[in-house]
């Protein structure tokens, strides 16, 4: 499993969690962030005197980090602040828009999960009929873009929106099978 190198800030709590009963001098500032590649929700502890902004990309990989002291761990979706929760959708949309080829590759390479279930069917709005149409269309030649996919598979719901909805559901812990989020 590859580790995240970059996280995108969802919310910054300079005085820690408001409901934390610890004395103020013992509270660490908290950064709620989402991994750029695997969409893992992370709780980060920034270095002293460091302030970060929502949507800022911070390095969290191995080696010297300029803004993050350490990764406190994975963040339970229930612990997201209202601000962070509202930013998840925007950050995921941006990621899908910036890396269209990665998500088109999913349509080109998706495999069966079991004898009765295919990875494509895990996307909102894609049932057996659309799944078979996608598989037939990609046999001819791989899809090149979301527009190409929609042009070749008739009446397919917006594939970009389906991917975004799926990633958000996975990030929020609403899905058993993981396609994109960790």
Q: Are 2 and 38 in contact (CB under 8 A)?
A: yes
Could you tell me the pLDDT band of residue 146, with boundaries at 50, 70 and 90?
very high
pTM: 0.89
Mean pLDDT on 4-20: 89
CA distance 74 to 37: 15
In the 8-state DSSP scheme, what is residue 154? T
Could you tell me the pLDDT band of residue 176, with boundaries at 50, 70 and 90?
confident
**Which top CATH class is 99-171?**
mainly alpha
Mean pLDDT on 116-126: 94
pLDDT in tens, 83-94: 999 999 999 999
Residues 6+ apart with CB under 8 A from 12: 29, 30, 31, 32, 46, 51, 52, 53, 54
pLDDT at 170 over 90: yes
Could you tell me the pLDDT band of residue 2, with boundaries at 50, 70 and 90?
low
pLDDT in tens, 21-76: 777 777 889 999 999 999 999 999 999 989 999 999 999 988 889 999 999 999 99
Task: Provide the pLDDT for residue 1.
Answer: 52
CA distance 10 to 87: 6
Which of 2.40.50.140, 3.40.50.1820, 3.30.470.20, 3.40.1030.10 would CATH assign to domain 6-81?
2.40.50.140
Q: Which residues make up the CATH 1.10.150.280 domain(s) of the chain?
A: 99-171
Q: Which residues make up the CATH 2.40.50.140 domain(s) of the chain?
A: 6-81
């Amino acid at each position: 499993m590859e580790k995240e190198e970059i996280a995108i800030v969802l919310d910054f709590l300079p005085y820690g969690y408001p409901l934390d009963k610890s004395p103020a001098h013992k509270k660490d500032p908290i950064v709620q962030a989402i991994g750029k590649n695997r969409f893992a929700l992370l709780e980060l502890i920034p270095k002293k005197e460091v302030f970060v902004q929502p949507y800022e990309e911070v390095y969290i990989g191995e080696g010297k980090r300029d803004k993050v002291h350490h990764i406190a761990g994975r963040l339970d979706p229930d612990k997201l602040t209202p601000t962070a929760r509202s930013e998840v959708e925007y950050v995921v949309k941006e990621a899908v828009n910036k890396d269209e080829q990665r998500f088109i590759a999913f349509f080109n390479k998706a495999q069966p999960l079991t004898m009765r279930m295919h990875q494509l069917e895990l996307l909102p709005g894609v049932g057996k009929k659309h799944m078979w149409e996608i598989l037939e269309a990609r046999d001819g030649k791989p899809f090149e873009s979301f527009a190409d996919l929609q042009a070749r598979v008739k009446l397919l719901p917006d594939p970009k929106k389906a991917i975004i909805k799926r990633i958000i559901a996975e990030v929020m812990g609403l899905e058993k099978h993981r396609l994109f989020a960790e």
